[in-house]
Amino acid sequence: MQSRFRSDRRLTARMGITLFLLGLLYVAFVVALIFLLKSWVLVVVVAAGLLGAQYWFSDRVALFAMRGRVVEREEYPELHGVVDRLCAIADMPKPVVAVSEMDMPNAFATGRNPDHAVVCVTTGLLRRLEPDELEGVLAHELSHVAHKDVAVITVASFLGVIAGLIVRFAFYSQLFSDGRRDQNTAVVFAAVMGVSAAVYAISFLLIRALSRYRELAADRAAALLTGRPSALASALTKVSGDIARIPTKDLRTAQAFNAFYFTPALGREPGVARIFSTHPSLEQRLDQLGRISAELSEAAAPGGV
């Protein structure tokens, strides 16, 4: 089903290129591990198992990690009402609605496709936003589902996850070894660790580049669907400012899921940190929303196109 969210060919192209490059990297990674570990069965079974788990259970893992739970209409009627209205406007299936008992104001969408998606908001977000601001945030999250970039970012992040796990495994294996390994074994472990670290770094940069663009695409699609870019801009400003004031220790759990969040759980990110951010800067997002607002005003004016 094609939703009424504005399609974005550049986002589709970027998702395709990212998946293609990560696919090549994944094949090279598996071949390198098979060559180093001399066991293609072990490598293929473990890699396929983790990929399947990441694809099928990503929504459950995300909800569990962020202390989210599925809520029914009777418990959160206003939240369900906003999601119902947006899904009707966008002509898309309604996702599962969840709430996370966290003071951090944020929201995220996850799931393998529009028919198996979850949209989760924190109680901190519900408490801080006005109804029109909440609608803008939820429209942003629903656009991720409609554009299918949630599924793409889930699959894309898999390579970084498995590479990171292998790096940790190799490190702790060396750390807690009894020192009786021969030189060849040590060389193999060092090679595996080096290859995994390189793969993690490359996948990290590719995912960051895609993630920043998809956030701008979601802002744009949400603003055009609701017709109120100013409400989304207000929500962005409010949420970003409040997250910056939350103690870092309260954000550590959330940081692993920054690529899925409405705004990153890092507060303000000065200098070089922006290069590695999962999101564009607040200024970029507000500038884009300002341009969309001007375009909508011009189109609505007498004689506008």
Closest residue by Cα to residue 113 from 155, 82, 72, 71:
155
Is 130 known to be catalytic? no
User: Exposed, middle or buried: residue 12 (CB in 10 Å: 0-12, 13-18, 19+)?
Assistant: middle
92 in helix, strand or coil? coil
Among residues 141, 269, 283, 298, the one annotated as catalytic is: 141
- Residue whose C-alpha is closest to residue 122's, from 34, 246, 224, 8: 246
Count of Cβ atoms closer than 10 Å to residue 90 Cβ? 20
Tokens 């409040």 sit on residue:
242
Can you tell me which residue has the tokens 């198992």? 49
Is the distance from CB of 213 to CB of 153 less than 8 angstroms? no
Helices (H), the chain: 9-37, 40-65, 77-90, 123-128, 131-147, 149-175, 183-226, 229-244, 252-255, 282-300
Do residues 105 and 242 lie in contact, with contact meaning Cβ atoms separated by under 8 Å?
Answer: yes
Question: Residues forming the annotated binding site for Zn(2+)?
Answer: 140, 144, 215
Residue 108 CB partners (closer than 8 Å, separation 6+): 62, 66, 119, 120, 141, 257, 260, 261, 262
Burial of 265 (0-12, 13-18, 19+ CB in 10 A): buried
Q: Annotated active-site positions, please?
A: 141
